[in-house]
Copies of this chain bind each other. A is one copy, B any other.
Amino acid sequence: MTEQNLDALAQDMLRIGQQARTAAKTIRNASDAQKSKALLAMADLIEANRSQLQAENAKDIEAAEKNGLETALVDRLKLSDHALNTMATGLRQIAAMPDPVGSLGPTIKRPNGMDVAQMRVPLGVIGIIYESRPNVTIDAAALCLKSGNATILRGGSEAFHSNQALGAIIRQGLIAAGLPEHTVQVIGTTDRGAVGHLITMTDYVDVIVPRGGKGLIARLSAEAKVPLIKHLDGNCHLYIDKDAHVEKAQRIAINAKTYRYGICGTMETLLVHSEIAPAVLPDLAQALQDKGVELRGCEKTQALVSGILPATEADWETEYLAPILAIRIVSSIDQAMDHIAQYSSEHTESIVTENLEAARRFQREVDSSSVYVNLPTCFADGFEYGLGAEIGISTNRLHARGPVGLEGLTTQKWVLTGNGQLRGQN
């Protein structure tokens, strides 16, 4: 690549950033009716342009097959009729959600008579960097638009033609609703240098939401100057307390592991109190093994369950995302919480117990972004929490933590209203 090319890319990205910043000033004050109109127009356009979208998508599929991409990954790329219907349905659902922008928290009247409150406002310009699935183009754009933000989307090169075609649909929807076309921009180059610009343009981008594997997140974290709402590991724990209901615990544990192996809320280590282990573990282990889950246990677990592998230090640390489960028997809730404090990725942990004090202690003291009582860890999802949709799950401590919905894409400003109060003179 010549230096001239680099300059051209830098200039392109600068222009995209400036266009986004300009659009952000309009979209943050757009009415809910106007934003919803754009989202509904996009849904209709997806349905009306099904064959063109699939023709563009076919180019990506062909290239992927030619490049020997795994079948599972090729499937994820496909804009099938079902995938397009799901996108259109998602757009209509997001259009119908309440607009978070402009909502006021409680108003406090100060002793001098002035009112103090906080109002929700958009973050500004959001960059989304994602891999593979082209549905993210629509989902992310819709959530950012509904919450009054401008968006710059950068999808994977495998989905380039699909994303460009979806970007054209989004643009038409914006124009149909009288909103700035640059409210959502899909980057039109596969040059990897574009990402480097996007994550360092602090004047034009307020936050980056990466959607992808650990490798992507690590790369972006190392180089970004723009703050990231990032999602790292989900090494999630379920603890069956001595005061658990045996059958309930077994049902919860089976669901926590087997609902889906590949999601971040999947239980990766099961902790069981030694007093209840003989009643809970043998049947539970059998049920899991019947479903094809490989079990790895501590010594005490091995004594109760036959034919399982020993668990090593590495097992406590691993997010398998696979039909494998590590099991450890502990002597107290404190030992369970110590294990979690040492090995957890602070994503989602759960206790099964009928003891209120144990439930309260666990929920207060475990320092994870989600802490459950009597529920499987696999509930870690914005829809399940009632957020209506999610842009991702944040493992950050600052700003949004856990599942991030529309509210996580906003910030607050202080609004004070008085009648001529003066400082230092009341």
Query: Residues of A with Cβ closer than 8 Å to B?
Result: 25, 28-29, 102, 108, 110, 114, 116, 119, 121, 123-124, 206-207, 227, 245, 248, 251-252, 255, 259, 341, 359, 363-365, 367-376, 378-379, 384-386, 397-399, 401-403, 411-425
* 8 interchain pairs, CB-CB under 8 A: A28-B367, A110-B384, A110-B385, A367-B413, A378-B423, A379-B416, A398-B399, A398-B411
Q: How distant is A121 from chain B, measured CB to nearest CB, in Å?
A: 7
A373-B108 contact given A227-B398, A386-B116, CB 8 Å threshold: no
Give 16 new A-B contacts, CB below 8 A, not counting A373-B418, A375-B421.
Answer: A25-B367, A29-B364, A124-B397, A207-B398, A248-B419, A255-B422, A259-B422, A370-B416, A371-B413, A374-B419, A375-B417, A376-B422, A378-B423, A385-B414, A398-B398, A398-B411
Q: Which of A28, A369, A402, A422 has the most CB atoms of chain B within a 10 A radius of its CB?
A: A422
* Residues of B with C-beta under 8 A to A367: 25, 28, 121, 413
* Residues of B with C-beta under 8 A to A401: 411-414
Q: Are B363 and A119 in contact (CB under 8 A)?
A: yes
Q: How distant is A53 from chain B, measured CB to nearest CB, in Å?
A: 30
* Residues of B with C-beta under 8 A to A123: 397-398
**Partner among B370, B418, B424 whose Cβ is within 8 Å of the Cβ of A413:** B370
A369-B413 contact given A227-B227, A227-B398, CB 8 Å threshold: yes
* Residues of B with C-beta under 8 A to A376: 422-423
* Residues of B with C-beta under 8 A to A417: 359, 363, 372-375
* Residues of B with C-beta under 8 A to A425: 255
A422 to B255 Cα, complex, angstroms: 6
Q: How distant is A385 from chain B, measured CB to nearest CB, in Å?
A: 5
Q: Are B374 and A418 in contact (CB under 8 A)?
A: yes
A399-B399 contact given A121-B367, A368-B413, A385-B414, CB 8 Å threshold: yes
A408 to B375 Cα, complex, angstroms: 30
Q: How distant is A91 from chain B, measured CB to nearest CB, in Å?
A: 23
Q: Are A108 and B386 in contact (CB under 8 A)?
A: yes
A61 to B398 Cα, complex, angstroms: 38
